[in-house]
Structure 1
Amino acid sequence: MAETAARTMLRAQGRRAYTALGVRGSGTRHPLVATAMVLPLAALLMFVFGGWQAVVTQASSVGVMLGR
């Protein structure tokens, strides 16, 4: 148990050093920043793997199952 406490203290000291340098820890990002980071990759994957066609196919399948 004593070893675990010592490791926790070392991690806490390391985090404080990053904060003092102006580097943020593993906090949460603003939703718009997260969206801006994800959208280019999502667009690339959709283009490469034909994602739009898959979405349309799935939507029509769900529509058929619902009887529309």
Structure 2
Amino acid sequence: MKQYDAVVFQDRTWWMIEIPELGTISQAVARSDVQSQARDLIAVWLNVPENHVVPPRIRWSAPRHFDRISDDE
């Protein structure tokens, strides 16, 4: 199975996890949860059991902050 890269950055209190090759993103509450959340995200996206997913390479990125997007804008 392919090993994916996970780009991780902090957005205020959340750790955002992006898998660029899959065009998908998830989040974790704690930094210690990033690896398992990234692996779970890949498994769900590819519709395979989590134990068939190679743990992704984690690439830590600088913090970013996103403003909330509302339906009114």
Q: TM-score range by the shorter chain?
A: under 0.3
Structure with the higher fraction of residues in helix conformation: 1
TM superposition score normalised by structure 2: 0.23
Q: TM-score if structure 1 supplies the norm length?
A: 0.25
